[in-house]
A and B are shown apart, each in its own frame.
Chain A
Amino acid sequence: MKCKLCDERKAAIKRPKNGHAVCKECFFYVFEEEVHHTIVSNNLFKPGEKVAIGASGGKDSTVLAHVLTTLNKRYDYGLDLFLLSVDEGITGYRDDSLKTVELNKEYYQLPLLVISYEEIYGWTMDEIVKLVGLNNNCTFCGVFRRQALDRGAYKLGVDKITTGHNADDIAETVLMNILRGDFFRLSKCHKIITGEDDTMPRCKPLKYCYEKEIVMYAHLKKLDYFSTECSYAPQAYRGYVRELLKNMEKIRPSSIVDIIHSAEKMELDSDVKIPPKLSCTKCGFISSNKVCKACVLLDGLNKGRPKIAIGKKAIIAYEEDNKNQDEEVKEPEETKEAEETSGEISKSF
């Protein structure tokens, strides 16, 4: 059978996205071109910008690094690319994946910054898990990682961060948010650029890439990536949703982008209150309360009562606690810890 795209070479693979039989060369090319289309049609970058690639060593960020360097050359984006990795301090899992990131650094000749929980917060995930156990550790990790990336990005002096979130991740997050009742995040988790009004925007150039195609691309290109799941992440609930999504994809492959389309079209009712955007009075990073979730959690860790810090009322308790230092304590909005715990981030790196 001849390739459906070039009609010359022999077809070697079936595209997971649409079932078309294509040759390897065409697959690579259209995969990259689709990312290019995503970048151009959404104005993700401006010439001369410094862009950090959030690199975990996993398949998504490895493919992202590969495709971005390729397109930067092919289309002369004029971007200054950097690799930015977070070292959570998880023995076995993170040291190995960081080795993969080191390889990428050599291969693509990109500067790499590794920023660790230990240097920012004074705690490694190994230590945190020892203290809080395996049930709540992901809460800590998610909150800390988000801020760690921001801090790393400032250190590098970049204009924005790109992350390796793919179409499956986004679709999964949409379904998760529906099931968790998190309508606020539901209304924004599909956005290709987030935090535009913050100082450090983030974008997802792989928004329309199917996970199956990313795996296929990485595999056929023989890219070095690290494929073990985080040793501390059981995430049973996400597992259910992941399986549902896989089943939906089996029934109709386009389900994945159809979910994204649905999310684009679902708007929050105008009566729904949106959490305010503030800066944390303690660390200065973005927060929806006076003190950000990361600072509250850290405070809990340092005072030896981490479990209390996870609760919803933790922020109020924190402010009560620190009333003396802090003059004008107002009742914080009772909103779900909005931006800074962004569950979406915790998955792919």
Chain B
Amino acid sequence: METHPVPEVEEAKKGRTKPKKEIDSLDKIEAEGVEELQEKLKGMKISKKLKKKLLKEEAERQKILAYDPAFHCLKCKEKEGIIINRGDRSCESCFKQGCIHRFKTNLRNSLKIWKDNSNLICVSGGPNSMAMLHLMHVSLFGESQRKMFFKVHIVHIDDGVVYGWDEEKRNTNIQLFKDACEKYKFEYTILSLESVFDVEKLNPNTKEFTPPIEDSKEYVNHHYQSTEENAEKLRELLKYPSELCSSREDLIFNLKKWLLLDFALKFGFKKLLLGCTAVKVTSKVMSEIAKGRGLSLPNDVCFVDDRYLEDIKFMNPMRDYLLNEIQQYNKFNEVSVIERTSISLNNSKKAKKLPGFGSMNLLCEEFINELQVSNVQTVHTVLRTSNKLKLGIVEDESKNYCVLCYGLVDHATNILEVGSHIKSVSLEGELDLMESENDTWNTEFEQHLCFGCKRIMENAVDKERLIDSLPTFIKENAGL
């Protein structure tokens, strides 16, 4: 919303000179400032109500006259604007209110969350999701005119194995999460990422899943620990995707998604809220395109992604929050967060020499952050572009979901997208040609993957072992 002071001044004047029966002569009152007006009104025959109104209008007019867009808050026009966002200044209290207001609007208008009780807030503990947790708390329990009435449950995935955290570090972070939930009066559940190896059945195509646990409240404030055996399986699996181009990060992201889906199915949650903010979403648009994931991209970055079984939806209520907004919000509200180093910052010499440390996600995030500095409309424009794209869902049996990422299975439009269509050349110039993309993506497993995931397989350190170490339900979904 962009409002400018000038028309508002005119608006206020107009209000003052609005013709009303009893005060035709008001046009002639020429007063500057509340006090002068008060003085002049003394000798006039007008009602108290109107007097009050006129004085209020004059006060408003004076405020706007004194308003300096280079100093004052745009919203209240009184306090000093200490936060600058896309050229507009706001004061601390207006800024906080703005954040909350937008969050509620997103919940109501974009996510259509009103009264249902099946909302699951997924909190990794990073700045974005911790800000979301606070916003959710204020929206539900804060002092505001427009209260919201729905129940939420908070879930956190402990991914300490991925980062190689020791017991102490894991416990500290889990405690941080628990403390936040208790402070905000939310019930929570903690899952371990390695539990994904215990998922029994979860098939995006046949829509089969482990039967729900009826009427059980066992998950409330519960920490589901996994086994050391599972932890070892996860460590083994993570050895095989390429360390480049975010293959490993993306695999972990997808494992989390499967685990969350399994949890939601077991306990009847329908709406899963993630903490993806604007820069994340925008960089994701860029990186997914570069990874050949254009088909699933619109779903991956939209407000409501409804492609999942049993009407489960993943949602991004924070989709339009900028990085500095989150930082400021967390600072003002003293929100504590779990610190993580990016997984892609691995130690191999090859990766270190590459842009973004070999991570496509990081490269795109850096790019967007830099561009946002020189052009404040960048994030906004990319989000708008992605809104214009068609969402993809499987409508008929000719299409399938990818068993690794729940994207749509898609094929090369031309074999030259895969690479060369030539296998070998004889000295006489005879060509041995590829018949299809399956000459490159040649395992049974790869036939159940989207283009982007086939690239993960193609670039894997060891494709066979990567497939071998995947959780059983994923292999079963590919008929293995």
Interface residues of A (CB under 8 A from B): 4-8, 17-18, 26, 29-30, 33-34, 37-38, 41-42, 174-175, 177-183, 186, 208, 240, 244, 247-248, 250-252, 254-255, 257-270, 272
Contacts and interface: CB of A to CB of B under 8 A. Distances in A.
B354 to A, nearest CB: 6
Residue with the highest number of chain A CB atoms closer than 10 Å, among B286, B360, B371, B419? B419
B290 A264 contact: no
Contact of B427 (A6, A179, A254): A6
Given A247-B355, A258-B417, 6 more contacts: A17-B420, A30-B420, A182-B385, A254-B455, A261-B292, A265-B413
A225 to B, nearest CB: 24
A34 B390 contact: no
B12 to A, nearest CB: 30
A264 B297 CA distance: 12
20 contacts: A4-B424, A7-B424, A33-B422, A37-B416, A175-B286, A179-B378, A179-B381, A180-B381, A251-B360, A254-B292, A255-B290, A258-B289, A258-B292, A258-B417, A262-B291, A262-B292, A262-B297, A265-B410, A265-B451, A270-B390
B285 A247 contact: no
Contacts of A180: 381
A272 B294 contact: no
Contact of A258 (B290, B391, B414): B290
B4 interface: no
Contact of A33 (B245, B388, B419, B431): B431
Given A255-B290, A263-B294, A268 B451 contact: no
B355 A259 contact: no
A251 B363 CA distance: 9
Residue with the highest number of chain B CB atoms closer than 10 Å, among A37, A174, A208, A248? A248
Contacts of B416: 34, 37-38, 208, 257
B363 A262 contact: no
Contacts of B294: 261-266
Contacts of B427: 6, 8
Contacts of A267: 389-390
B274 interface: no
A267 B355 CA distance: 30
Contact of B424 (A6, A174, A260): A6
A257 B458 CA distance: 15
Nearest to A15: B420
A186 B384 CA distance: 13
Nearest to B381: A181
A182 B425 CA distance: 43
A52 to B, nearest CB: 24
A65 B297 CA distance: 37
Contacts of B367: 240, 244
Contacts of A175: 286, 289
Contact of A250 (B291, B354, B424): B354
A266 B288 contact: no
B358 interface: yes
B295 interface: yes
Contacts of B414: 38, 41-42, 208
A166 B403 CA distance: 34
A183 B285 CA distance: 13
Contact of B419 (A17, A262, A272): A17
Contacts of A178: 285-286, 289, 382, 385-386
B426 interface: yes
A15 B59 CA distance: 74
Interface in B402-438: 410, 412-417, 419-422, 424-427, 429, 431
A26 B390 contact: no
Nearest to B419: A18
B125 interface: no
Contacts of B297: 262, 266
A8 B382 CA distance: 50
Contacts of B298: 266
A248 B425 contact: no
A272 B388 contact: yes
Contacts of B419: 17-18, 254
Nearest to B408: A265
A244 B354 CA distance: 12
Contacts of A182: 385
Q: Which 9 A-B residue pairs are closest in the complex by CB-CB distance?
A: A262-B294, A258-B292, A247-B355, A265-B295, A208-B416, A181-B381, A183-B388, A267-B390, A252-B245
A240 to B, nearest CB: 7
A251 B358 contact: yes
Contacts of B472: none
A272 B388 CA distance: 7
B289 A6 contact: no
B104 interface: no
A183 B387 CA distance: 10
Contacts of B292: 254, 258-259, 261-262
B293 interface: yes
Contacts of B295: 262, 265-266
Contacts of B371: 179, 240
A264 B418 CA distance: 14
A5 B425 contact: yes
Contacts of B386: 178
Nearest to A252: B245
Contacts of A34: 416, 420-422
B241 interface: no
A28 to B, nearest CB: 10
B469 interface: no
Contacts of A177: 385
Residue with the highest number of chain B CB atoms closer than 10 Å, among A5, A258, A259, A265? A265
B230 interface: no
A346 B5 CA distance: 41
Residue with the highest number of chain A CB atoms closer than 10 Å, among B285, B358, B417? B417
Nearest to B370: A240
A240 B374 CA distance: 11
Interface string B275-307: 000000000011011111111011000000000
Interface in B257-289: 285-286, 288-289
Contacts of A179: 371, 378, 381-382
B389 A268 contact: yes
B459 interface: yes
